[in-house]
Structure 1
Amino acid sequence: MTTREPAPAVEVDDEVPPAAPDESATTAAPDDAAPDDRQATRGARARAVAQVWVLPAGVGLLVAGLFTVYSVAQWQAFVVRSWDLGIFTQLASRYAALEAPIVHIKGPDYHLLGDHFHPLLVLLGPVYAVFPHALTLLVVQNVLFGITAAVVARAAVPLLGRVVGGLVGVACGLSWGLQYAVEAQFHEIAFAVPLLAVALTATLRERWRTAVVAGALLVLVKEDLGLTTAVLGLVLAWRARRPALLWLSAWGVGGFVLATRVVLPALNPDGAWAYGSRLDLAAALADPLALYAPAKGYTLWLLVVVTGAIALRSPFVLVAAPTLGWRFLSAEPGYWEPTWHYSAVLMPIAFVAMLDGIDRARRGRVRWLRRYSRYAPVVGLTASLMLLPQLPLWQLTDPGTHFAAPRAQAARDTLAVIPDGVVVETDVGLMSYLVDRTDVYYLGNTNPVPDYLLIDRQAGGTPQEWGDVLQVAQLLHPGVPFEVVHVQDGYEVARHVGDG
């Protein structure tokens, strides 16, 4: 006859210190306490807060610093990944001037809130007003990712100890999704990453108000994140056993509907949500086998492996479903892969889910899972370490190859030809380097006649069959006279010489 072994008590790692004191739980001095006692209490509270945040702050500074070194190397090498940095820089300059976000790069008089719904980007305005430079946006994004790493480290240390908890924060900050986002340069989702980290870690600590506020702000970052907020509301309500928190789900769904059905169509030149056509749910359900693609499987595998798979133990992984859903149901292959910025919002979800999964496994009744919870962080950290040579930051180990910038002097000479304050029509080659001081239009649109036309025949994206800069000028503005004023290493500049 076999006897059933009683469920063992929660196992506690001897190397894991007790949870750090919650600064919000520090007992305040009574009103009738002596002034010296109140001052001592405030001092103790300040020291406790500082002690709790010293290591996470160091993690955040490390992540933000490494990313900024990479961004500066990219900038000095004249690496331009797309037109997005130019677009968001033009938006930031409009907000800094207290103007509507009219972005000529997207098209003449194009209101950027008709492209994506991201009103929270108004926060870029004051920063850009002080530091009016496209590189500023890259630094802002790097700082936001550093904050994310610090928040995750702050949640990990009480559970895993200072060393492992700090390393988990670093792993999150330097994770593949965030590295690819930094490589792709600035995008609006930079603001969503720390908000998700704050919302989920606050949920771990049962700080419901903080979680709700951070989750609610996601709706203002990008339209699809309204659905992420809706799922977050469900998780919060279940976790807190408070049905009233379901209002966050209603807020998320309402924000998504309002953005996609009202705001975006009203402000978009075509009168529609520009990206709605990329999601064909009916076609996907008609052929379920077509949903599978190796790129999708690889993205999912990366999410699982960097968390030691124990993130699957947490309901927090459900918060990733809307992002994975719209990406994998789309017919755009670029959405399926782990590159670019599309996976950045998944990183805080995955790593906080890992922390929650470890905590739940330790308190659970499944013996092998309790034991594995001791090793899951090491498995995830080892996987993160092994991935590093494949990721963008590794390029810093060989800057001579990746950031050689053979045309850097030619680029600087070309930029020097174009005066401040003029209207420039250009491809993506040097767009981000002009947007701070000129009014930039993208040559792929129907634009007014510019003062200067600039093309990069090597890496700007202008079709080779269009010919040289004068041929491009006649193609875009038939009959309008231009003269060539500069040609160097693939860069060509023509100036409008009058109405002729």
Structure 2
Amino acid sequence: MARSSIMTRWPHYILATLMAAFASSLSWFTVTAFHKLNIHRFDLGNVEQVMWNLVHGRGFVMTDPYGTAEMTRFAFHADPFLIFLAPFYAIWPHAETLIVLQVVALTAAIPATFLLGRRVVGSIAAGLAFAVATTISAPLLWSGIQPLHAVTFAVPLILWGGYFALQKKYVAAAILLGLAMLTKEQVGLSVAMFGAFLWWRRRDWRWGPWLTVIPAVYALTMFFVVLPALAPTTTAYQSAYGETASSVVSHVLRQPVEAVKDVIGPANVKPVMQLVASFGGLALFSPISLAALPDIVINGLSDKIQQRDIRFHYHGSLLPWLIIGAAFGWSWFAGRMKRYSPRAKHLLLCGWLIGSAAVISFQYGPLPGTPNSWLRFATWGNRYAPIVREYAATLPPETAVSVTNNVGAQFAGRAELYSFPYGLDRADVVVVWRNHGQTVVSTEAENAAALELLRRSPEWRIVRDDSDLTILARQVAETNGAR
């Protein structure tokens, strides 16, 4: 009886092992990297400040990282999904809470891919192959070690939403896909294309129209109404083609050849093919993969090179559609391998899927022992990390700080968080660490000039000043807790 139970449940044991390994290793890495100062204000610190403001009743706001004004988070992204993280942050208000939440969310993608593979292909072996490929896939691993971005939560939400939609459990699917839409402005466009797939291919005339029209209207409202009204500056992709969503569309219509070249050019196609290859290229054989098209186009029109690099979070809402497409691509291939027995088909396709994921992960992923291993960011002995973290712990949240990007995440739990050299007339404390990642909003020369003026000013007291780290406290800030 016991042996029979083990034989029946062995897929679940494998699944649990994969999830435990993924969650524990990524949680350890990201938390340790954060403690070593290798996770910065962009973007963890920005998100934590929004969380801090939310739980203190100050609204969905943050300090402009490029200035001194307090502004709504909608000035940068339509990601109100972050509000759902606030209760967890309220329980334990630390950046580590947000880091682990993101890892847990990504871990939930593993059972979703198992169920999708089993549902679409009709095989437990296929489900396990998708679960293994997901666990070791380069894009998912990069998503896990790049906290924190609301759009990363779209990965499990879309996968589970897609699974429930295929199961015809449309209420659950609509809720999950609706939550995914709240992670970033363009996700609604992808959900709309998925709805069109259900409408067209599945002949679902009840839910297909709703899952097409409502997401499209929401996304277009964010792009053409909400974000232009609240954004102080243009976004990166808009700066290449216009200052508003309307001008971007106008530019593309006037010069379509230029836009097409950017979208299908090698700089944009390469990362997309890396994502597709992570799951054996199977997504190319399913029309459902077209739901990834909005993100592909937006990334292609951007002049921000990070949007065309799988190491960054911009593929967050693109990846799950390719995974779902890969499951359908597997089914398409299996139906045409008539010369092979069912067992041989599964062995070949399982080996192909897992092997492809392993090769791409080795070539482009962050795992230890690979060319792009990020293990050093968790094991590197940074002698300044305990100094910065201990000093940050002494400052009460009402202390205004102006800090470089590379230490910004350590000081994010407060109302006033300025990017050095901004906010010097308002800050009580200045922290400058002259190391990788210090310059995002200014140059090293500008930082050095601003710091030299502060050193000479009688208003500022030097707390620490050596070759790499400078900490200054305003003399009148002593009563605010700056020491």
Q: TM class by shorter-chain length?
A: 0.7 to 0.9
Within 5 A, what are the aligned runs for 1:361-372?
A: 361-363=333-335
For structure 1, the residue ranges without an aligned partner over 5 or more in a row are 1-48
Instruction: Please name the residue that 2:244 is paired with.
Output: none
Q: CA RMSD in A?
A: 3.4
For residues 22-421 of structure 1, the aligned pairs below 5 Å read 56-81=15-40, 83-106=42-65, 107-157=68-118, 159=121, 161-162=123-124, 164-244=126-206, 245-269=208-232, 276-279=238-241, 280=248, 281-282=252-253, 285-287=256-258, 288-289=260-261, 291-363=263-335, 375-389=348-362, 390-394=364-368, 399=375, 403-407=379-383, 408-412=385-389, 414-415=391-392, 418=395, 421=398
Number of the residue aligned with 2:431: 454
8 Å contact kept, 1:84–1:186: yes
- Paired residues of 1:88 and 1:186 also in contact (CA < 8 A): yes
Aligned to 1:465: 445
Deviations along 1:142-188, whole A, 9 cap, x unmatched?
01100111111123246465455324213213322122222322111
Indicate the structure whose relative CO is greater, using CA pairs within 8 Å and at least 6 residues apart.
Answer: 2
TM-score with structure 2 length normalisation?
0.82
- CA distance in structure 1 between the partners assigned to 2:269 and 2:176 by the alignment: 30
Q: Deviations over 1:346-365 (max 9, x none)?
A: 33222222222222443469
Q: Taking structure 1 as reference, are residues 357 and 401 closer, same or farther at Cα in structure 2, changes over 3 Å only?
A: closer
- Deviation per residue, 1:284-316 (Å, 9 max, x gap): 623344555433232132233222222222222
Cα deviation for residue 240 of structure 1 reads: 2.9
1:481 and 2:454 correspond: no
Question: Once structures 1 and 2 are overlaid, which stretch shifts more, 376-385 or 145-154?
Answer: 376-385
8 Å CA contact 1:144, 1:194 repeated in 2: yes
Residue 438 (structure 1) shift: 7.0
Residues 410, 73 of structure 1: alpha-carbon distance in 2 compared, 3 angstrom cutoff: same
Q: 1:274 to 1:84 in 2, by over 3 A?
A: same
Further displaced range: 221-230 or 305-314: 305-314
Letter of the 1:144 counterpart: A
Question: How far 1:235 sits from its partner (Å)?
Answer: 1.0
Paired residue secondary structure (2:200): helix
Q: 1:134 to 1:373 in 2, by over 3 A?
A: same
Give a deviation string over 1:450-498, Cα, whole Å, max 9, x none: 11111112232263323658635559xx978222221245110111124
Q: CA deviation at 1:226?
A: 1.6
1:123 and 1:209 map into 2 onto residues whose CA distance is: 20
- More deviation, 140-149/184-193: 184-193
Tell me how far apart the structure 2 counterparts of residues 180 and 351 of structure 1 sit (CA, whole Å). 16
Larger of the two Rg values belongs to structure: 1
What code does the residue aligned with 2:351 have? Answer: V
* Matched position secondary structure for 1:486: strand
| Cα pair distance change 1:458/1:435, threshold 3 Å | same
Shift of 1:207: 3.0
Identity %: 21
Q: Is the 8 A contact 1:196 1:215 kept in 2?
A: yes
Seen in structure 2, the aligned counterparts of structure 1 residues 361 and 291 have a Cα distance that, compared at 3 Å, is closer
SS in 2 for 1:353: helix
CA distance in 2, matches of 1:471, 1:307: 49
For normalisation by structure 1, the TM-score amounts to 0.79
Change (3 A) 1:468 1:337: closer
Equivalent residue letter for 1:118:
D
Partner of 1:433: 410
Aligned-residue offset at 1:70: 1.6
State whether residues 423 and 451 of structure 1, in contact with CA within 8 Å, keep that contact through their aligned partners in structure 2. Answer: yes
Runs of 5+ in structure 2 lacking a partner?
A: 1-7, 242-247, 478-483
Offset, 1:223: 0.8
Residues 430/333 of structure 1: CA separation in 2 closer, same or farther (3 Å cut) = closer
Contact 1:59 1:166 in 2 (8 A): no
> Structure 1 residues 454 and 51, CA, compared in 2 at 3 Å: closer, same or farther?
same
Paired residues of 1:172 and 1:348 also in contact (CA < 8 A): no
Structure 2 counterpart SS, 1:430: helix
Q: How many residues align?
A: 448
In 1, the alpha carbon distance for the partners of 2:464 and 2:287 equals 59
Measure the CA separation in 2 of the matches of 1:484 and 1:448. Answer: 17
Partner of residue 45, structure 1 = none
Amino acid at match of 1:380: L
